[in-house]
Chains A and B, each alone.
Chain A
């Protein structure tokens, strides 16, 4: 005979709580003054409420190509300094939550979100405080498996090409993440 589980014997660990997402992405980054490169990234997302989340991102590019000034004058920096590394901590807001429908009757959750935050960008021999803002779209195409599309801008002060120049790097990526 199947027994109903009494609530008094129930412990807090028995309700599965889904709030943490781990993801990886691939994309293209366009660093101002330098050629566009492929970039790989990973991220960790904490879903605070249905509208707000916190995200930690890490992305990198190895061996960025020569800028046009460097093609004329030779590389300004080399080896490890040509790797672009960026990490940031963001707050995100989901503002167009909805469902989308594929050919099956199943409905999948989706949302458009904006993100903003701060981080650090290491390139050349510099480490710069960066502001980040971006827009993205998330689709939960299979409950806990989520497809992410993101466009982000990294804004920082750099002296690599010109003295204390406000530099913008644009990063577009597509990624998968898993919600657990």
Chain B
């Protein structure tokens, strides 16, 4: 998801539109603009930079962000990736419309109608005026995110206790309230040759240094574990049992939107008798 503008003092965009106040011109301008936006969103102009008509001025539309470039220039590439060629350069003082975002890449449209992709780093000071986070070295990883939701999966193995050696995986969804506190829901399954089981739990994640690239995390939670047996028989004392878990994790932020997480957990299961388990897991998560 996207970012809330926080800074009110903004360089307003002065698009060089010949200002006429006649309603007919405004209506025609709006119609041309709407067609241009529709055409753009169909991707035709985006995919063929060489066929853009240079004389068309992009027109104001309530749903587009218009910016004036503050940095000395902005490289515009033909695709949202560092390997695509730069086919146009927007100079300082020129106006651009921001059309779409894919991760750190923004699809921009220049005043002459050229459409291409620029990174948020290139637009950093310009975007910062709108409250978008700037992609500057000093900006941290965990709290770069106005993206609050995190989704991903983990897999690992039980390393000690009655289920030692069982493989497990889970899907996770978490919501970050503040930079150091998240709430996570987890749904998973475990397998070994005798046993198959499911579990779901809710965890509180405390990550005090989320602005570091390697960031430690404390995990506290509780859930329910239920076991079935595979065709090969083995009976264990755990069936639909509540458990508490606590653990330590380490988050490694790869890029801006991707986190690799390693963790080790201790479980305390309230079955017929108390069962303790331990597991290690690796997880992959992305923010949105």
Contacts and interface: CB of A to CB of B under 8 A. Distances in A.
Interface in A133-153: 142-144
B265 to A, nearest CB: 17
A13 B3 CA distance: 8
A176 B46 CA distance: 21
B284 A49 contact: no
Contacts, number: 182
A143 B47 CA distance: 8
B13 interface: yes
B42 A18 contact: no
A10 B64 CA distance: 9
A17 B102 contact: yes
B47 A14 contact: no
B100 A105 contact: no
A27 interface: no
Contacts of A32: none
Contacts of B230: 126-127
A164 to B, nearest CB: 7
Contact of B83 (A12, A98, A142): A98
A11 B65 CA distance: 9
Interface in B10-63: 10, 12-15, 17, 19-21, 26, 29-30, 33, 42-44, 46-51, 59-60, 62-63
Given A14-B65, A127-B191, A89 B169 contact: yes
B171 to A, nearest CB: 6
Interface of B is mostly: loop
Contact of A17 (B12, B100, B255): B100
Which of under 10, 10 to 19, 20 to 34, or 35 or more describes the interface residues of A?
35 or more
Interface in A2-46: 2-8, 10-20, 46
A5 B64 CA distance: 8
Interface string A150-180: 0000000101000010000000000000000
A142 B44 CA distance: 8
A20 B151 CA distance: 12
Interface string B214-233: 00000000000000001110
B275 to A, nearest CB: 21
Given A12-B146, A49-B257, A127-B196, A54 B13 contact: no
A118 interface: yes
B103 interface: yes
A50 B117 CA distance: 12
Contact of A5 (B26, B51, B66, B100): B66
A7 B19 contact: no
A70 interface: no
